[in-house]
Structure 1
């Protein structure tokens, strides 16, 4: 009965609701303007701040995008500047190493060319011309032996014999001259090979210099694009940052896997050294913390080695040190790395010994029979492998500074782009919510008018009747006028 107190018609909820709605309809009609104003005010009160917040978030995203662009271009300018500086250093080294001996090379080329020219001139010399008596012999040969003059015949035969001997001698001299010239030409070959080799070296050096110059031109063009703040340069730097972020993340995950292997290798010996029952928290043991500290120290020493070698630039203070101080720091970090590597090798040996003792204890408790000990040679193989792994893992972790630097620098760009995207998405959601609330208030106003449609129809009919009465009263006045 307590739930039916509102029923005007007991036992009939629909009829009671209709009667109550009919009773409330005049009051709803009377409050129509107030309800419209109230719904409009609610829509503006809720939707206005949401749209304002969306507008503010869009402006914030635009400002953050500009700041990210400035940072990205600054980092790209610095990186390209370092590339250009290294290329100029490479060109300086190339010029100092290869082209500083160019005067000596030029002198050698001139000497070889002069020697070839002299030999060529020697090769061009011809045998001396025939003596003048050849003309006399020609004149005698024209004499006709008439009447069988034996004296003339004998003289001519003697001249013929002399001419043949002289001809053979001249031909032999001519052949010897050509043979000597051929020997001179054959002697050209070493000099030609030397010239060809020298010119090949010069061409190779100049080609390397040209390639390096082309690289510098490409870097300078990229540097100019960055200075002009073009969209092409920004897009290229953004893509490069995302690529470097993905690659460095993958390499860091591999390094984390190596660190986990290293941790498993030294955790058991540290539990025996520090104490397995000593807990720093309810679940974190002190031995695990000590093993992690050793691994972090190894990575830190490796990072210092990379910094002192100027491979990475995470710490500007180390890069700005003088060469003597950096050299001292380098050798100190290397010594610490060797110390940690020796410690890990000893801990790996201790781990193998502890594992062997544990297995022997379990075997002795499981059976009463005496089990033959394993072959010492077979036991040395895993022991040696663990010791080598414990010794070389710190040096492998020393190179984690290279992907770490790439990850840190690319994280600024990737994180900034992600935050801008998140802010824009939030602004879009707020704007959609603001529009939805305003449209919802309009829908509620329409539903309210539909609920009081009968009084609204009566109001429309009354207004129509009044307008017709006013029109009929105004017509006689116009006729009288």
Structure 2
């Protein structure tokens, strides 16, 4: 159908267009209320499910947040409980080690203090008083000689005797003081011993106090976790994200080590299982065999650490009795050592294959082979063998970051999923509100399209309202008249 068929007067296009616009406005004015209802129904039909889905996702996010909080607090409670248990064991060991020697130490201190006290009492003894003949000497000194020779001789003899006795008394007195000084000098070792013992006691008490402070900090954290405070939840969430990042970094480093290990044994494995054997068009059997060996080494390391109770990924292993657990430990260790030896042999085989290939290329070329390098040329071979033997043991410790990654991934994944669900709920609610507002905009645009009939309707209603008001005024005047 052509455009000319819609024209009422094909020769007069403007008049025909004007007639069509007038007819369209009349039709749209007649269908104004149904179209408004249609737009509202469409907005409600599209927007209501979006808003309902947004509210449901918001409720689901809140429920997920509560579940994540419960799991996070339970894991934190278990971890802090284990730390508190280890601190109590350490505290018990300190008390057993240090305090069990306190009776002996106390007895030693008492003996040393008693000996020091006895020596001090010896130092405090007063020398014996001078003999009684001093009074007699004083009486003789008062005798008048009067030039008598006999009296002078007696007095001189008495003087000589007194002088000798005085010198002897002074010597004994000095000797007694020297003895007391030696006793005081002998105090020093005992004082040093007492000081050393007291310093050891102070050190033990300081260590005990530090352990008690650590236990108090863990107990305070445990109480916060039991109370379910926001602070504890935030701290546990940050700790989980930190552990996840560190474990992911360590796993990336371990993946690099596994890649080096793969490159080290891939070539000799191709000689063992066949270089031309393919599982798929791009995957060789030798590569799969090398990966299997690496995964078996990692599994043996995991079982070894589980048997040592370093990790707790398999509770069944930790619950084994002591005999079975030790057997499993030694079996895993023996298999790990065997696989390490196999890798060392494969590394040697790789070096031999490379050497044979180089020898073949040199034999086919015109260049003569250079002299052998002796023991210097064996250094790369020894390094490859050592690397092949060490890498399995290094990969065995991948179980520790793997456990941390698994435990923290639950919290990290839950938090990220909650954020994603909340964001999706917000988007749906915004979309629902946008659809609702779009229906209102369509209603306004529809009214704009028929603005002339609406203006005419408004004028007619205004005229009718004015006429009714005039009639009411006339009736009122007649009533008053």
* TMscore range, shorter length: over 0.9
For 1:12 and 1:264, the matched residues in 2 are separated by 87
User: Residue in 2 aligned with 1:349?
Assistant: 348
User: Residue in 2 aligned with 1:423?
Assistant: 421
Is the contact made by 1:145 and 1:153 (CA closer than 8 Å) also made in structure 2?
no
User: Residue in 1 aligned with 2:437?
Assistant: 439
For 1:123 and 1:4, the matched residues in 2 are separated by 141
TM-score, normalising length: structure 1: 0.95
Say which of 376, 393, 396 aligns to 1:395: 393
Q: Does residue 450 of structure 1 match 2:448?
A: yes
Is the contact made by 1:248 and 1:403 (CA closer than 8 Å) also made in structure 2?
yes
- Secondary structure of the corresponding residue to residue 145 of structure 1: coil
For 1:11 and 1:214, the matched residues in 2 are separated by 103
Distance 1:4 1:249, change over 3 A: farther
User: Residue in 2 aligned with 1:471?
Assistant: 469
Shift of 1:374: 3.2
Is the contact made by 1:39 and 1:444 (CA closer than 8 Å) also made in structure 2?
yes
User: Residue in 1 aligned with 2:157?
Assistant: 158
For 1:202 and 1:257, the matched residues in 2 are separated by 51
Matches within 5 A, 1:208-219: 208-219=207-218
User: Residue in 2 aligned with 1:53?
Assistant: 53
For 1:271 and 1:198, the matched residues in 2 are separated by 69
Is the contact made by 1:302 and 1:333 (CA closer than 8 Å) also made in structure 2?
yes
User: Residue in 1 aligned with 2:303?
Assistant: 304
User: Deviation per CA, 1:211-245, whole angstroms, max 9, x where unpaired?
Assistant: 11111011111111111111111111111111111
Quick check: 450-459 or 170-179, which moved more? 170-179
Gap runs ≥5 in structure 2? none
User: Residue in 2 aligned with 1:89?
Assistant: 89
Shift of 1:301: 0.9
For 1:247 and 1:9, the matched residues in 2 are separated by 82
User: Deviation per CA, 1:310-330, whole angstroms, max 9, x where unpaired?
Assistant: 111111111112222211111
Shift of 1:361: 2.4
Say what the alpha-carbon RMSD is for the aligned residues. Answer: 2.0
TM-score, normalising length: structure 2: 0.95
User: Residue in 1 aligned with 2:27?
Assistant: 27
User: Residue in 2 aligned with 1:129?
Assistant: 129
Shift of 1:477: 1.6
Shift of 1:47: 0.6
- Secondary structure of the corresponding residue to residue 279 of structure 1: coil
For 2:240 and 2:258, the matched residues in 1 are separated by 26
Quick check: 154-163 or 403-412, which moved more? 154-163
User: Residue in 1 aligned with 2:98?
Assistant: 98
User: Residue in 2 aligned with 1:174?
Assistant: 173
Distance 1:17 1:316, change over 3 A: farther
Gap runs ≥5 in structure 1? none
